[in-house]
Amino acid sequence: MFGRNFPFFNSIGGFYPRENLDSKRPSGTGYTSKVRVRDKYHIVGFISSGTYGRVYKAIGKDGRKGEYAIKKFKPDKEGEIIQYTGLSQSAIREMALCSELDHPNVVQLAEIILEDKCIFMVFEYTEHDLLQIIHHHTQPQRHAIPAPMIKSILFQLLNGLLYLHTNWVLHRDLKPANILVTSSGAVRIGDLGLARLFYKPLNSLYSGDKVVVTIWYRAPELLMGSRHYTPAVDLWAVGCIFAELLSLRPIFKGEEAKMDSKKTVPFQRNQMMKIIDIMGLPRKETWPGLVSMPEFSQLQSLAMSRGYLNRQCNLEGWYQSCLKNNGYSQASTAGTPGAEGFDLLSRLLEYDPTKRISAREALEHPYFTTGTPVTANCFAGYEGKYPHRRVTQDDNDIRSGSLPGTKRSGLPDDSLMGRAAKRLKE
């Protein structure tokens, strides 16, 4: 199903060389049992935690050169390994997909290890992610992200997304934290825990599944209650990421409404307001499918109560203000995303998912085919330095599960890290 030699799409001509990851990845990536993680990898420290479990930085042993990120999944009932009930659907999906996917702009899985009823996914290590890069540029005395860097990041992101969509995979959770960047400037789409296969004709992917896509990057059709996910939901998220790279803040920063006691999914009123403030009120004349959306009556009520009935799109005003405030040249030069950048952004943030630009169409857009050539290394020409990803070796921090800059899951101390931290102190 998934091609091993999928071409690295380049609308400008030629192909970008992919980094040599074959030395890290065993032939036929699969599950390895009767192998202990510590026998193959030296644990450097703890990176982050979340609802899925924990992530550690490691260095390969016995000829396995390079750095790795090891993702340890927690069982369904944390702390009850004896009564182990299995892995979540999210973990199973991620393992199944990552074992097959192979593309220079999708994170590379080295192997999966089963040890003492715990699952470890071993990935290539990436030093940065877009959230970290954006945060770096928001600090005092720092400037906006260079326009050529944004162009390279966006091109590589769309290139990886084209590969996923061509192979019938929806990511469903694209956001800056899930877009990884290597120290050599290669962009990788990461965290496929919410990814799903899709088909034509489309089947409903709802089926009681929780609503996906982090609220700030959630497409309007999902906010309107659509239960049929299409590749267009990922393209809306790319548009939000593009805008955030330009402005250094989320373009639609709404507050998520939580489920009530009856587990009914609420209308995300505040998030829809943030979108309407910039994009204007969606209308049935330009989005015919709008009237059939489950939350259409809620949208009408919102428009009446907030005075949105005559609200028009102001994305161009937002874009020009963003260029001015962040020091981008107003003229069409190498130092600005220009008019082509706005056109691409507006096509990514199209309300109607059937009209929204596809990954393939986006890669052929004049934003990429004119002006400064796209580079395979997004850091090319940039003289600044980004900080390394934080890795901690402190036992107390690990036990607390409350590290600054990480997801706070409250997970207990981990046996893998506990032994590693002890060795590091010795």
- Is 152 found in the same domain as 104? no
Q: Do residues 367 and 337 make contact, with C-beta atoms less than 8 angstroms apart? A: yes
66 φ/ψ angles, rounded to the nearest 5 degrees: 100, 175
pLDDT in tens, 236-247: 999 999 999 999
- Is 289 found in the same domain as 190? yes
- Is 192 found in the same domain as 332? yes
Interaxial angle between packed helices 130-138 and 232-247, expressed in degrees from 0 to 180 and rounded to the nearest 10? 20
Q: What is the rounded average pLDDT of the residues 310-314?
A: 96
pLDDT in tens, 84-101: 566 777 788 899 999 999
One-letter amino acid identity for 153?
I
The Cα angle at residue 75 between residues 73 and 76, in degrees rounded to 5: 125
User: Is residue 384, in this structure, part of any structural domain at all?
Assistant: no
Mean pLDDT of the chain: 82
Q: Do residues 336 and 147 make contact, with C-beta atoms less than 8 angstroms apart? A: yes
User: Is residue 317, in this structure, part of any structural domain at all?
Assistant: yes
pLDDT of 4 > 70? The answer is no
The pLDDT of residue 17 is 41
The pLDDT of residue 140 is 85
- Number of neighbouring beta carbons within 10 Å of residue 396: 9
pLDDT band at 268 (very low <50, low <70, confident <90, very high): very high
User: Is residue 26, in this structure, part of any structural domain at all?
Assistant: no
- Is 140 found in the same domain as 117? no
Q: The tokens 């999902």 sit on which residue?
A: 222
pLDDT band at 200 (very low <50, low <70, confident <90, very high): low
* Residue in 50, 46, 47, 45 with CA at minimum distance from that of residue 410: 50
Please state, in angstroms and rounded to a whole number, the distance separating the CA atoms of residues 241 and 247.
Answer: 10
Between 355 and 30, where is the model more confident? 355
Q: What range defines the domain where residue 74 resides?
A: 31-126+390-414
The pLDDT of residue 264 is 75
pLDDT in tens, 359-375: 999 999 999 999 889 99
31-32 and 109-115 strand pairing: parallel
* C-alpha count within 13 angstroms, C-beta hemisphere, residue 245: 28
* Residue in 54, 124, 46 with CA at minimum distance from that of residue 390: 46
The Cα angle at residue 104 between residues 100 and 109, in degrees rounded to 5: 40
pLDDT of 73 > 90? The answer is no
Name which of 61-65, 308-312, 345-349 the model is least confident about.
61-65
- Is 57 found in the same domain as 153? no
* Residue in 365, 376, 372 with CA at minimum distance from that of residue 343: 365
Which residue in 62, 102, 116, 173 is the catalytic one?
173
pLDDT in tens, 24-63: 454 445 555 577 899 999 999 999 887 678 899 999 998 7
User: Is residue 172, in this structure, part of any structural domain at all?
Assistant: yes
The pTM is what? 0.84
User: Is residue 424, in this structure, part of any structural domain at all?
Assistant: no
Q: Do residues 101 and 95 make contact, with C-beta atoms less than 8 angstroms apart? A: no
pLDDT in tens, 167-183: 999 999 999 999 999 99
pLDDT band at 80 (very low <50, low <70, confident <90, very high): very low
User: Is residue 319, in this structure, part of any structural domain at all?
Assistant: yes
* C-alpha count within 13 angstroms, C-beta hemisphere, residue 124: 29
pLDDT in tens, 383-422: 999 999 999 875 323 233 333 333 433 223 334 444 444 4
109-115 and 118-124 strand pairing: antiparallel
pLDDT of 320 > 90? The answer is yes
Percent helix / strand / coil, the chain, rounded to 5: 35, 15, 50
The pLDDT of residue 398 is 26
- Is 229 found in the same domain as 118? no
- Is 408 found in the same domain as 288? no
The pLDDT of residue 50 is 73
- Is 231 found in the same domain as 147? yes
- Is 134 found in the same domain as 115? no
- Is 409 found in the same domain as 335? no
Number of domains in the chain: 2
- Is 104 found in the same domain as 71? yes
pLDDT band at 331 (very low <50, low <70, confident <90, very high): low
For the chain, give the percent of residues with pLDDT over 90: 61
User: Is residue 382, in this structure, part of any structural domain at all?
Assistant: no
DSSP assignment of 230-268, as one string?
-THHHHHHHHHHHHHHHHSS-SS---PPPP-TT-PPPP-
pLDDT of 130 > 70? The answer is yes
pLDDT of 162 > 70? The answer is yes
pLDDT band at 201 (very low <50, low <70, confident <90, very high): low
Q: Do residues 366 and 357 make contact, with C-beta atoms less than 8 angstroms apart? A: no
Please state, in angstroms and rounded to a whole number, the distance separating the CA atoms of residues 175 and 277.
Answer: 21
- Is 156 found in the same domain as 100? no
Question: What's the CATH code of the domain at 110?
Answer: 3.30.200.20
Please state, in angstroms and rounded to a whole number, the distance separating the CA atoms of residues 10 and 159.
Answer: 8
The pLDDT of residue 346 is 99
User: Is residue 383, in this structure, part of any structural domain at all?
Assistant: no
Query: Is position 173 annotated as part of the catalytic site?
Result: yes
